[in-house]
Structure 1
Amino acid sequence: MSNRAPVFHAETLTKRFGTLRAVDDVTMAIDRGEIYGLVGPSGSGKTTLIRMLCGLAVPTVGAAELLGSSMPSERRVVEHRFGYMPQERAIYRDLSVAENLLFFGQIYGMLRSRIIERTRDLLDLMKLSDRAKQRTDKLSGGEKQRLSLACALLHEPEALLLDEPTIGLDPALRREFWDHFHELNDNGRTILLSTHYLNEAEWCDRVGLMQLGRLIAEGTPDALKAMASARSGQERPDMEEVFLILTREGVAGGVS
């Protein structure tokens, strides 16, 4: 794959559950080296879109690609190159912190020596070194989120899909997580994440606003603010105001 090709690509992507369109005709492309934020309330389609982009859900209509491979049919070709952190924590409560990382490392086919090395580094990074032998069900909510992120990073993926990674965290821990995201991005990772915290859109390179399964607008935070300002006459809207203005207007399209 060319380095100039999108890391994530959706073309008229639609997912129906009966009569419900969870994702409705979404087309988007996320370039290498970007932090792209999907922003919208619960039920807006963010999770379903992410699951289709990483091959865990089959589109009703349209096509999804990750790292140049069609999802879900070619998922195994690239599964070692991306990391996925689901909104519902995919960690095992009856295993210890270190055992969870060992388990995920074995799934990815890593050498045991490399798993041990990466576990040590990630526990240090996530401030979990003193919890290595602790059962996961004894961890706090924030510690479980840290472990979930560590599991997604274990195999050193080049692309990350993070579904509501900061949900339920206090503001200080949310800021800490974003420091990790920016450090990962500085080291070459492409990140697609979802959030319903509108202020987090400010920390993304580009943002896609979702409502009722549709991508109603996308662009840089500054470009979306300019669009909202032009449509409402309001000067310097914050991201919460941007979302309210653009969803009220029912905008569909992208800005640079």
Structure 2
Amino acid sequence: MTTSRRTLLALAGIPLLLALSACVPSDPTPRPTSTSTSSPTPEESESASPTPTAGEASTAALVVVTATGISVFGTDGSTLASETYRTDAATVAAHLAEALDEEVAVTNLPEVEGGVCPAQTVYTFGGLDISTPPGIGSAGFLESGDLYDAYVSGATTAGGVAIETVAGQRVGSTRAAFEAAVGDEIRLEQYEPNIAYGFDIVNPEAGPYDYIGVQGWFDDDGRMSGWGAPAAIGFVGGCS
């Protein structure tokens, strides 16, 4: 079954807040975030331009999208790009295009729902979209300073570079593998036939509606169909 990003977020909406409050304790203590030794997360620093590798140039081998940013790693393990969510989206798109050696597709989405959802610009690299301004379900909407959000809907970019999140999970991963690998997931809501999780918690001291992390979805075959970041787990309504 294929469900669009707009449909997933629209289905989540405000009713999910009530469902989450019923199924998540008022003060849960999530386990520390798992990270993959093969899938580092971006440094929480200013966005960096792609850095050439000494000697023979490295080509892109992996994109990692987490709660803190987007990184591109080379075939030799070098970091070709490291982007936080607090950098202008057009600049980030240019850095990713250079690091991936791929063209970026740009789409302008109109304002919808009477101005509740603003017009957005979406930069697409195959299975990865970055959208500005962030959707209302993102941390950016909650005044964190984020300038765009990311949504992953495929296992690779247009050029075939693998896309992962924490613990090496990607579109197509099974729920069992995801739960075993990630270790801090919180079941958010089940809206048939999809199952939603919050994970990659980077604000564990906050209350259950203020965690900042990633939202992931699984289809009726029990496989990951996509994820979005950064995300305020307790508020998952959105436009993008």
TM-score between the two structures when normalised by the length of structure 2: 0.30
